[in-house]
Amino acid sequence: MALFPIYGRFIGDCVPHLVAVDTGDTMAQVAEKIAVHSVGRRVAPRPDATGFEVLVGGQRVDGDAVLGSLGLHPLDWVVVRFRGQEDA
């Protein structure tokens, strides 16, 4: 596997982050790596949340999908939100 730089933004945060992920990471792992920079810092944690989900191009991506299989390019943008959150 290889390190892969992407831009990530957590919904509700005004600060995007350049995050090094691995091409073998699942999208659930990518979501965690992005969320750690926002949740509890500029985004309030949600005690009722059951995790995070990733949107690519406005479409939700399955958490079990492997980053390397999605055809993303280095420095592409992904958006992360609390699972089930509908506002963008």
Across 57-85, average pLDDT: 95
Instruction: Say whether pLDDT at 88 is over 60.
Output: no
Instruction: Say whether pLDDT at 86 is over 80.
Output: no
pLDDT tens digits, one per residue of 26-64 = 999 999 999 999 999 999 999 999 999 999 999 999 999
Note whether 20 and 3 are within 8 A (CB): yes
- Tell me the average pLDDT of the chain: 94
In terms of CATH architecture, what is 3-82?
A: Roll (3.10)
